[in-house]
Structure 1
Amino acid sequence: MPTTTTGRPAVTGRPTATIGRPSTTGRPTPSALGHLERGVLSAVGCGLRDDEIADALGLPEERVAEHLARVLVKLGLRDRAAAIVHAFDAGLVSPGLGPRARPSDPAAPRECAGAVRGPEIRMSVLGPLRAWRDGRPLNLGPPRQQAVLAALALDAGRTLSRQELLDGVWGMEPPAANVVPVYVYRLRRTLRSDASGDGPDAVIRHDRIRGYRLVPGAVDVDVTRLERLVADMGAAGREGDRAEAVRLCSRALGLFRGEPLDGLPGPLAELERMRLGERRIGLAQRKAEWQLELGRCADAVAELSALSAEHPWNEPVAATLMRALYRTGRQAEALAAFDRTRRRLADDLGVAPSMLLRRTRRMILCGDETGLGRPADPDMSTPFA
């Protein structure tokens, strides 16, 4: 078989089979594959590596290898090179373009025709639950039905039993019998363009023994993008690139569109609202710390002032605001921020300021900027469900 300069098989000529029709080679066609398996085969045909396919489809890299192994078995292909040829022959990749060249080649196209497209369904849980298909908003039904979808989205890829969904969405208020299957059926029809939503491309899969799961990579959920941004942000911070870390943190915070899962009922939604809300505060505080290190104190003051007004009992936020005000020469306002927080803690919670706040105030009064009450860095490594 001829090869390209990259060492990958060269593919020429017109496709000999179309998807869903019998192949002239006698092998099964991609119509025998599942949704993710077809996506993996298409990406392989474009010359993508396993790590690139994992990023495109939102899968762990080891899952890509598993899907590819199943593709080879189902289609009777001997290796990856044969899969590339088959992807062209089946029309998954346009002929004539060939697999993508090595990334080091500056003239190489970044994509080829038939490359993996992102999920056509997008979902937001970092605010009121919303979903769109091809940019058009979807009607997700009543609040409890939305809460079922949110539970699956927050645990994408993991199978949730019917009892887990009942406990998370209804708690101690048991619903009518069979309500979970009814809600899942409705959600399937809403999330897929086909009439039943039960075909091989169904977004929600049902295992009769284990339960229900949202197919990984089938839906672009904003909390998954948030997790990736947090990981990239942490890497930039560890490498000392504070400006890039601030930029990524701004993008992560921009994904929040209000209170997470706003208005959804059930113990799970309440717990996730608290967890994601704390995550948002931690990100905002970490961004302010990096801004202070970059000397962008005025930006930090503006954002911390709004955050402190929204969360008046959060002492780490108040301490960071005090430091930012002090560094902009506003010592009186820094001390006023301490007094305001102290009064709110006393009046609303009946507690005294923490050691962190008292130490920050003392250092401001002494004019000792060294070690100014900096709180411990929020844990950016905590994974999302």
Structure 2
Amino acid sequence: MTAADVVRVLLVDDQELVRSGLRRILRRRDGFVIAGECGDGAEVPAAVAAAEVDVVVMDLRMKHVDGIEATRRLRQAGARPPVLALTTFDDDELLAGALRAGAVGYILKDSPAEDLIRAVRAVAAGDAWLDAAVTARVLTTYRRAPADEPAGLPPGLLTPRELDVLRAAGRGLTNAEIAGALVVSELTVKSHLGRIFTKLGLRDRAAAVVYAFDHGIVSPRAALVADAPLRPAVTTPDPAPGLRFSVLGPMRAWRGGSPLELGPVRQQALLAALVLRPGVTVSQRELLGGVWGMEPPGTGERVLPVYVHRLRKCLRRPGERTPDSVIGRTRGGYRFDGDGVRIDTARLAELDADAGAAEEAGDLDAAVECCGTALGLFQGEPLSGLPGPFAEGQRLRLTERRGTLWARKARLQLRLGRHADTADELSAVLALEPLREPLAALLMRALQASGRRAEAIAVYGRIRSRLAVDLGVEPGEELRRTHRAVLES
């Protein structure tokens, strides 16, 4: 682990017991260093000045200077470290104050340890950590007076696409989810967000979320509905009442149009281990190994019936008895009944097959469209945040499948002569996954065909350096062959 991988955290809480618990969660071996501790908000400026701090984890309730005032002082002083607020569900007024004071996110004190780890890492990387549904309720409840009601956005200040991006960010969507919804690249979303911050004078994504609610750009109802459209849509019939799962991003589930609460991440990982093997009996030992790996829970197999019971309650239909759930128990283990259940990986397979059939029939435009639709199903890293060997294996498999789809779409677009579009898309993809040699070779071909030979050569130089530093290897034959072809052109 290099120094660049370490996240330096300042803990601010007036209870030593809480700070001790946070220290146990944010361990050095997991990439965290406790840069300092404060028992009151008044101590924060000196602590930030005395040490390098990447993230401040700040309790909101303290006896003298509370977390809101401490956050406000940091922002007024221009101090860099982002603030992650510690709060509880009944702290609505404090939470609203913290967001308006400049906190970039919040973590509930009864959250699983894994959520705290993910939140601190996300904030250190420059992202916000917000629950859109909670934020909607909080900011709407604590508009202080009629004069504080949304004034609306000044006409013409944002372009229609920038307004779409702001609305999506206000609903709590990630850059990847916004890109999928608007059918653009993540790099394009980042560019739009940068312009939005500049035009509106906002410091970060959390401030953009507050702005979106305060100016009526996002309604509380839209924030509470995971699938709310980015633009007003024609009224359609209610979705089918069956179960629907998404694993091409965070693990999510719906019954009809209603999102389901799936519980802590280990419970979600157990569900994923069953959902992704419908109709297959999975033994208890295999489930323990797939979800907990080499560190099984202290209660052993006894934890499985508890998690399964909770999942059955989450997934059952109104009026259905828990034993009738889609998760069945057999002599050999547990089995998920996939009849009538929709999952985005099945749709992914259908679109992939459709793309192959269209290409074979010579309809390259239709094949490109199928690939684009398939890529739009990905809402970030597959099974993001879920622990265990099974989730990690599926994450790698599905990530590779996305890479294959990117390459297939690019090759089809090059055959159609869409060189500029291909170059733009692959540049955005490689900014996120810079070691994908087949995509780098396709990008070089697209740039060369667009008359951008120097840029094509530069792509080779960048990936060769990254391969040498990160993996200690030279580029493969395909990339070297493409490089020679560009040099000889």
Please confirm whether the aligned pair reaches a TM-score higher than 0.5, indicating the same fold: yes
CA distance in 2, matches of 1:295, 1:249: 17
CA distance in 2, matches of 1:361, 1:301: 16
| Number of equivalences | 249
Contact 1:119 1:220 in 2 (8 A): no
Instruction: Give 3-state SS (helix, strand or coil) of 1:178's partner.
Output: helix
Deviations 1:1-50 (A, max 9, x none): xxxxxxxxxxxxxxxxxxxxxxxxxxxxxxxxxxxxxxxxxxxxxxxxxx
Deviations 1:336-369 (A, max 9, x none): 11111111112222222222122111111222xx
Instruction: Give 3-state SS (helix, strand or coil) of 2:482's partner.
Output: helix
Aligned counterpart for 1:313 among listed residues 423, 429, 435: 435
Deviations 1:312-337 (A, max 9, x none): 11111111100010111111111111
Q: Does 1:263 align with 2:385?
A: yes
Query: In the superposition, relative to structure 1, how do residues 328 and 287 fare at CA in structure 2: closer, same or farther (>3 Å)?
Result: same
Structure 2 counterparts to residues 73-222 of structure 1, below 5 A: 118=240, 120-175=242-297, 176=299, 177-194=301-318, 197-200=321-324, 202-207=325-330, 209-222=331-344
CA distance in 1, matches of 2:363, 2:439: 23
Which one has more relative contact order, counting CA pairs under 8 Å at least 6 apart? 1
Aligned counterpart for 1:327 among listed residues 445, 449, 453: 449
Report which of the two has the higher share of strand: 2
Contact 2:280 2:335 in 1 (8 A): yes
Q: Which runs of 5+ in 2 are unaligned?
A: 1-238
Q: How far is 1:163 from its partner?
A: 1.4
Query: In the superposition, relative to structure 1, how do residues 238 and 119 fare at CA in structure 2: closer, same or farther (>3 Å)?
Result: farther
Deviations 1:148-180 (A, max 9, x none): 111111112212111111110011122214211
Q: Does 1:283 align with 2:394?
A: no
CA distance in 2, matches of 1:157, 1:251: 28
What fraction of aligned residue pairs are identical, expressed as a percent? 56
CA distance in 2, matches of 1:227, 1:318: 25
CA distance in 1, matches of 2:243, 2:444: 43
CA distance in 2, matches of 1:247, 1:181: 44
1:228 matched to which residue of 2? 350
Query: In the superposition, relative to structure 1, how do residues 283 and 254 fare at CA in structure 2: closer, same or farther (>3 Å)?
Result: same
**Aligned-partner residue type, residue 283 of structure 1:** L
1:102 matched to which residue of 2? none
**Aligned-partner residue type, residue 205 of structure 1:** G
Normalised TM-score (structure 1): 0.62
CA distance in 2, matches of 1:258, 1:264: 13
**Aligned-partner residue type, residue 204 of structure 1:** I
Deviations 1:239-289 (A, max 9, x none): 221111111111111110000011111111111111111111110111000
Query: Over aligned residues, Cα RMSD in angstroms?
Result: 1.6
Contact 2:248 2:380 in 1 (8 A): yes
Contact 1:232 1:248 in 2 (8 A): yes
Query: In the superposition, relative to structure 1, how do residues 197 and 142 fare at CA in structure 2: closer, same or farther (>3 Å)?
Result: farther
Contact 2:437 2:476 in 1 (8 A): yes
Q: How far is 1:217 from its partner?
A: 2.5
Instruction: Give 3-state SS (helix, strand or coil) of 2:310's partner.
Output: helix
Contact 1:120 1:219 in 2 (8 A): yes
CA distance in 2, matches of 1:348, 1:267: 23
Q: Which runs of 5+ in 1 are unaligned?
A: 1-116, 368-385
- The structure number with the bigger radius of gyration is 1
1:297 matched to which residue of 2? 419
Report which of the two has the higher share of helix: 2
CA distance in 1, matches of 2:321, 2:292: 25
